[in-house]
Amino acid sequence: MSHVVIIGNGISGVTAARHIRKNSDYEITIISAETDHFWSRTALMYIYMGHMKFEHTKPYEDWFWKKNKINLVNDYVEKINTQEKSLELIKKGEFSYDQLILATGAKPNKFGWPGQDLKGVSGMVSYQDLRYIEKYTKGIERGVIVGGGLIGVELAEMLRSKDIDVTFLVREKKFWNNVLPHQDACIISNHIKEHHVDLRLGSELKEILPDENGRVKAVVTSEGDEIPCQFVGLTAGVQPNIDLAKASGIETGRGILVNEYLETSVKDVYSVGDCAERREPLPNRRPIEQVWYTGRMMGETVAQTITENKTAYRPGNWFNSAKFFDIEYQTYGWVWNQLKDNEKEFYWEHESGKKCMHFIFDRETKLFLGVNTFGIRLRHECFDKWLTEKRDIFHVLENLRKANFDPEFFNRHEQQIAEAFNKQYPDNTIKLKGKKSLLEAIFG
């Protein structure tokens, strides 16, 4: 019987294990050095903020693994001997495998800033990071966050929840402007400020200064401002964990290189999730995709291949979501921060300045390409279908009512959105389909 060993108990490794179990009776072992059980690092912020305890973030109860005959080993893998098909673990020593999945995830970027290893400076990825941040932000006055991505804004919310002042250094002109179009980035930037975050746009970290005990006492920005603080969060992106693969003779680039079947350069060794890099990226997609969903899908896929149903990794239409303090964000299809030559946009913003929708479509064919939505939930199923069926923007807007996923009684905006579109594109007016909700009918 084949023994599948998975390194890393994050979403990608665990999903692979679950689906291998569904399809086979192979022996399965997950080795991971971070926590005994799979937990959801996406919920890290909620543990810090006291919304949940660590226990709550475990997607499966502890009995689940035994019941499904998935062995868990808490250990660190130092080396892979791909010839003998064995691993060297720090505590357990040698450990053999028949097939190996590298799901080692990612770690925070550090760009060699002076002072980046001082006490009170931390990235935010692991369980250990969480406990470290808890310890070093207890009772402090100000924290500085470096790098304006999704993890940075989560860290800002975390610190603000404990009334800690936050200075947020963001290189871009607007928050997350390297991903979001200008209008969307403005909405989020304003909202971050509404939460009393000292958001410094276009500002970078130059240096972190220590006090006499080797603990951070201030940062110096690219403009030369010195900001006193007791904690620094480094959230300028993550990089794949490739040290193990590299040391074991598996080909790596920025990540562990894999083909469309998620196979690495070595036979019977696969790689999935945050650490994997596609040799030939799919159209429009990056070679390294570090989000929860792609990790999950790679896990689902590699499980097929390992259980003798060779399957290429073929994710469907792109989607993603996030939350910036109180504003939820979802995206379906492709919305780039800059319009491409063939693209046109339709942007609608609610008068509150907290909701907007940003549609992208093809200039010529009017083909719908993607949407960003803030403060209004949209239905994955509808957009997935419209993207797959290659619908045009008119069809999407006309049927927008169907795609609304907000709870009952919420204010509906489809009418306004349609009117705004007709105003902006008077040559191509659309007529909203579907019934008004009862409340809309009553209150307009």
Partner 1 sequence: MKAIKTTGLVLFIIGFGIFIGSFFIESYVVTENLLQNRVGDKAELVKRNSDVVGKTFSNSFSLVRDLDEAFNAVNKVQLDAFGITDKEVNKIAVQNEGSFEISSLDQVFDDSETGTYKKKTFRDYGGWLDGREFGSKEEMQQQIANVANNIKLYQIVNEKGFDKYKVKDLKYSLTKASSTGLVSGSPGLFLFLTYIVCIVGALLYILPKIKDAPPGIKNNGLFHKAMTSVGWLGILTGTFLILFYIILYFYPEYMTSWIITVDPVSQFLKGSDAGRFFLYGFIYTLCILVMGVRMIIKYRHSKYQMVRTMSVMFFQTAFAFLIPEILLKLNQPYFDFKNIWPLDYDFFFDNELNTLMANGGLGIFMLGWGIALIILGVPVFVYFFGKRWYCSWVCGCGGLAETLGDPYRQLSDKSVKAWKIERWMIHAVLAFAVVMTGGVLYTYWTGSSQILGVSSYDVRSVYGAWIGAGFAGVVGTGFYPIMGNRVWCRFGCPLAAYLGLVQRFKSRFRITTNGGQCISCGNCSTYCEMGIDVRWYAQRGQNIVRSSCVGCGVCSSVCPRGVLNLEVKDEEGRFGKPILLGNDGVKLQS
The residue ranges that bind ligand FAD (CB under 6 A) are 7-13, 31-34, 41-42, 44, 76-77, 103-106, 124-125, 151, 154, 241, 244, 273-274, 290-293, 295, 322
With CB under 8 A as the contact rule, which of the stretches 68-76, 198-206, 221-229, 322-330 interacts with partner 1?
322-330
Query: Which one of 2, 29, 239, 321 is in contact with partner 1 (CB under 8 A)?
Result: 321
Of ligand FAD, partner 1, none, which one sits near residue 304, judging by CB under 5 to 8 A according to partner kind?
partner 1
Residue 314 contacts partner 1 per CB under 8 A: yes
19-78 positions binding partner 1, by CB under 8 A:
40, 42-43, 46, 49-53, 56-59, 61
Give the nearest distance from C-beta 326 to partner 1 in angstroms.
3
Which is closer to partner 1, CB of 157 or CB of 277?
A: 157
Which is closer to ligand FAD, CB of 329 or CB of 361?
A: 329
Give the nearest distance from C-beta 33 to ligand FAD in angstroms.
4
Which is closer to ligand FAD, CB of 149 or CB of 181?
A: 149
Which is closer to ligand FAD, CB of 106 or CB of 306?
A: 106
Which is closer to ligand FAD, CB of 290 or CB of 307?
A: 290
Residue 165 contacts partner 1 per CB under 8 A: no
- What is the rounded CA–CA span in Å between residue 37 and residue 35? 5
Which is closer to ligand FAD, CB of 241 or CB of 330?
A: 241
Strand, coil or helix: 19: helix
Query: Which one of 92, 195, 215, 401 is in contact with partner 1 (CB under 8 A)?
Result: 195
- What is the rounded CA–CA span in Å between residue 348 and residue 338? 17
Residue closest to 198 by CA, chosen among 161, 231, 236, 227: 227
Which is closer to ligand FAD, CB of 7 or CB of 417?
A: 7
Of ligand FAD, partner 1, none, which one sits near residue 317, judging by CB under 5 to 8 A according to partner kind?
partner 1
Ramachandran region, residue 201 (left: φ > 0; alpha: ψ -120 to 50; beta: rest) = beta
Which is closer to ligand FAD, CB of 105 or CB of 413?
A: 105
- What is the rounded CA–CA span in Å between residue 159 and residue 142? 9
Q: Which two tokens stand for residue 47?
A: 């543990």
**At 83, phi and psi to the nearest 5?**
-65, -55
Strand, coil or helix: 367: strand
365-394 positions binding partner 1, by CB under 8 A:
377-381, 384
CB atoms within 10 A of CB 158: 25
Residue closest to 127 by CA, chosen among 35, 12, 10, 238: 35
Residue closest to 145 by CA, chosen among 124, 161, 115, 119: 124
270-299 positions binding partner 1, by CB under 8 A:
292-293, 296-297
**Look-up of token digits 């907290």:** 354
Q: Which two tokens stand for residue 179?
A: 């991903």
- What is the rounded CA–CA span in Å between residue 355 and residue 380? 18
Of ligand FAD, partner 1, none, which one sits near residue 8, judging by CB under 5 to 8 A according to partner kind?
ligand FAD
- 24-59: string of b/e by CB count within 10 Å (b at 16+)? bebbbbbbbbbbebbbbbebbbbbbeeeeeeeebbe
Dihedral, CA atoms, 309, 315, 316, 320, nearest 10 degrees? 140
Residue 319 contacts partner 1 per CB under 8 A: yes
Residue 326 contacts partner 1 per CB under 8 A: yes
Strand, coil or helix: 351: coil
Give the nearest distance from C-beta 411 to partner 1 in angstroms.
7
Of ligand FAD, partner 1, none, which one sits near residue 343, judging by CB under 5 to 8 A according to partner kind?
none
DSSP state of 119: B
- 324-361: string of b/e by CB count within 10 Å (b at 16+)? bbebebbbbbbbeeeeeeebbbbbbbbeeebbbbbbbb
The binding site for partner 1 (CB under 8 A) comprises 11, 40, 42-43, 46, 49-53, 56-59, 61, 161-162, 191, 194-195, 292-293, 296-297, 300-301, 304, 311-317, 319, 321-323, 325-326, 328, 330, 377-381, 384, 405-411
